[in-house]
Amino acid sequence: MKKVERINIIMRYINNRAHFTISEIMQEFNISRSTAIRDIREIEAMGMPLVAEVGRDGGYFVMNNSVLPTVRFTDNEIKALFIAFMATRNQQLPYLKSRQSLAEKLLGLISENQQEDLVLLNQILLFGGTNPNNPDLLDLSDLPHPMLEKLIQFLLLDSYLLISIKEEKVIKSYPIYLLHLYHEKGIWMIEGFDLEDEKRQIFPVDNLTNVKPYPTKKRLSKKKILEKLSKQEEVINLVLELGPNAIAQFKKYHPLKVSISYTNPYQTTAILKTFINVNNPEELTEITNWVLFLGGDIKVREVPEEVLEGLKERLCLFCP
């Protein structure tokens, strides 16, 4: 661990404790006594008000009403923050209007040399949705749906919501317990438990017209909701092992309800488990075509007979 990183972590460690000793610092950070003493002296020089206690069991404590000094960033940490910030441009993220003030504050924390590095990175690196003729860090050209931030404000206070959804030319209201709010293939989706029909529902945020809290007296407890959902879980009937090429294809396109679990730290192998409704012709056709789209870098552990027949029919189209 580099010295700057270690000192930053030690400052946070100290700030969260009423009292500490040199021995504790040595043990916690696996450093020598002389290094621990030098680090403590440097932290004191940075302005953290430490008070030394003399005696056999003496140590240090932070003065009351003290404020943790400004955290220093390493060059690599600054670049990581900047690149992560660049990569989220034009992604329809909430609170996008705060990017300008956030960028100004971040840039105000670093040196001129570090700022020059970031300017160069901004000119060289391009991500999806970036205009190569104007790779501006503060680009606000792709704002999310205006209801998204309002929805987040409500769900931070309570997960029981009454949402209004525009369906064709009619607006319908649904009392839900919000399970997840997720971003998939450029679309924000609400996954909730319908408190009236008592089933899982998916709603696009783009169709959301209003949201408000749901009355307390009509609520179903979270425990009962999870119990009902577990009973309604569909039996998995499609299990695939994916290699690196199939994973790359999966990232290009996959049905909304399908997800994968990586099976090694390098994310080069994964397993896919899902339920296929073989009685729905549209879903059956979509999944059959999609399995072919994944390519040959897959191993089939389990597959419905109907999907298997569909795969054989399509492959026979290429037979002589």
Q: Each residue of 203-217: pLDDT tens digit?
A: 889 899 999 998 877
Reported as a pLDDT band with limits 50, 70 and 90, residue 231 is confident
Position with higher pLDDT, 135 vs 31: 31
- Per-residue pLDDT averaged across 240-247, rounded? 94
- Per-residue pLDDT averaged across 37-51, rounded? 80
Q: Mean of the per-residue pLDDT values for the chain? A: 81
What is the rounded distance in angstroms from the CA atom of residue 218 to the CA atom of residue 196?
10
Stated as kind and residue range, the H or E segment containing 209 is: strand 208-213
What is the rounded distance in angstroms from the CA atom of residue 63 to the CA atom of residue 68?
11
Reported as a pLDDT band with limits 50, 70 and 90, residue 174 is very high
Lowest mean pLDDT across 43-57, 194-208, 243-257: 43-57
What is the rounded distance in angstroms from the CA atom of residue 129 to the CA atom of residue 90?
6
User: Which pLDDT belongs to residue 187?
Assistant: 81
User: Which pLDDT belongs to residue 243?
Assistant: 94
What is the rounded distance in angstroms from the CA atom of residue 72 to the CA atom of residue 2?
12
Burial class (CB in 10 A: 0-12, 13-18, 19+), 233: exposed
CA angle, corner 129, sides to 202 and 266, nearest 5?
Answer: 75
Position with higher pLDDT, 298 vs 220: 298
Full set of structural domains in the chain with CATH: 3-62 (1.10.10.10), 75-142 (no CATH), 146-232 (2.30.30), 238-317 (no CATH)
Reported as a pLDDT band with limits 50, 70 and 90, residue 182 is confident
Q: Which residues contact 261 (CB under 8 A, 6 or more apart)?
A: 270, 271, 272, 273
Residue 70 has pLDDT above 60, yes or no: no
What is the rounded distance in angstroms from the CA atom of residue 196 to the CA atom of residue 58?
63
pTM of full prediction above 0.85: no
Per-residue model confidence as pLDDT tens digits over 111-151:
788 888 888 887 788 776 666 666 554 444 567 788 888 99
- Per-residue pLDDT averaged across 152-156, rounded? 90
Q: For the chain, percent helix, then strand, then coil, each to nearest 5?
A: 40, 20, 35
DSSP state of 20: B
Mark 260-288 as b/e (b = at least 16 C-beta within 10 Å). Answer: beeeeeeeebbebebebeeeeeeebeebb
In 112-204, at which residue ranges do the beta strands (DSSP E only) sit?
Answer: 160-167, 170-184, 187-194, 199-204
- Per-residue pLDDT averaged across 102-116, rounded? 78
Reported as a pLDDT band with limits 50, 70 and 90, residue 253 is confident
Residue 301 has pLDDT above 70, yes or no: yes
Task: Write the CA distances from 88 to 79, 128, 140, 184, 202, integer angstroms.
Answer: 14, 9, 11, 14, 25
User: Which pLDDT belongs to residue 241?
Assistant: 94
- Helix locations, 207-253, DSSP H: 222-232, 244-252
Name the token pair of 112: 């001129």
Q: Which residues contact 100 (CB under 8 A, 6 or more apart)?
A: 138, 140
What is the rounded distance in angstroms from the CA atom of residue 180 to the CA atom of residue 189?
8
Which of the listed ranges 91-100, 107-116, 228-237, 304-313 does the model predict with the highest average pLDDT? Answer: 304-313
Position with higher pLDDT, 145 vs 161: 161
